[in-house]
Amino acid sequence: MIGRLNHVAIVVPDLEAASATYRATLGANVSAAVDLPEHGVTTVFVELPNTKIELLHPLGEGSPIAKFLSQNASGGIHHICYEVDDILAARDKLKAEGLRVLGDGEPKIGAHGKPVLFLHPKDLFGTLVELEQA
Amino acid sequence: MIGRLNHVAIVVPDLEAASATYRATLGANVSAAVDLPEHGVTTVFVELPNTKIELLHPLGEGSPIAKFLSQNASGGIHHICYEVDDILAARDKLKAEGLRVLGDGEPKIGAHGKPVLFLHPKDLFGTLVELEQA
């Protein structure tokens, strides 16, 4: 069911510093910062040949990653995202097998304009997993 | 400098359960478990179309991931691995820019039989990064 690893999301305390490190020190192709107010994050994409890293920083009040950053002041890996062909079929299969879908269980339009869901990390060995309909 | 994302490593408290979940529930291709006593881990590879997930569990006394598991009893993402063409050139550039290389700074032969180094997570926004000469 799961397909490509769409991205690894890393929350960082300073997006400019992280962008500069990935660009100048690690030598990667790094996008400009993009505010996504409807998601409560500012994001920078690090393009790798086979996938991407998303550097995230809280945006505005009530950002969904504010608590993570307060608990991980240096930053840290926040989630990984797997692609699926059909997010509703994936959701129904996973729920039938006992995995918990976060929120109300309905896919939302994610940062890439595609339907996404998040799965409870306690059901996947401490890993917060996003599913994105590719 | 950094190339492909070689893998995401996830430490899990129960390798059989995690293998079963990735195989049967998430529908991925999952390898048999492989003991790597010289690395103090048992590993299972989850093959995705563009990269892989490595499920890790401590093996033997003094495993380098035992402390992580004791601090993250449910498991969690342990590190990510970027490929580089020339690990010594990468190391020297990164050290010159102030990044700390773990251990004695000399590449070791990693779990895939290739030279690897680890970079200090405090220098990379809370993310433990492995470099592997591809």
Residue A28: left if φ>0, alpha if ψ -120 to 50, beta else—which one? Answer: beta
In sequence order, what are the beta bridge partners of B5?
A: B82
Nearest beta carbon to residue A126 from set B76, B97, B121:
B76
Q: Closest-CA residue in chain B for A71? A: B126
Letter for the amino acid at B3? G
Count residue pairs from A and B with Cβ separation < 8 A. 109
- List, for residues A20-49, the tens digit of each pLDDT value: 999 999 999 999 999 999 999 999 999 999
Instruction: Report pLDDT for B2.
Output: 97
ipTM of the complex: 0.95
Three-state DSSP string of B89-123: HHHHHHHHCCCCECCCCCCEECCCCCEEEEECHHH
Within 13 Å, how many C-alpha atoms sit on residue B38's CB side? 6
In whole numbers, what is the pLDDT of chain B averaged over residues?
96
Angle at A22 between CA A20 and CA A24, to 5 degrees: 60
Cβ atoms of residues A117 and A89 within 8 Å: no
pLDDT band at B110; cut points 50, 70, 90 = confident
Q: Is the pLDDT of residue A111 over 90?
A: no
Residue-range definition of the domain harbouring residue A26: 5-133
Domain count, chain B: 1
Nearest beta carbon to residue B8 from set A8, A94, A125:
A8
CATH number, domain containing residue A34 = 3.10.180.10
Instruction: Report pLDDT for A10.
Output: 98
In chain A, residues with a C-beta closer than 8 Å to the C-beta of B20 are: none
Secondary structure of residue B37 in the 3-state scheme: coil
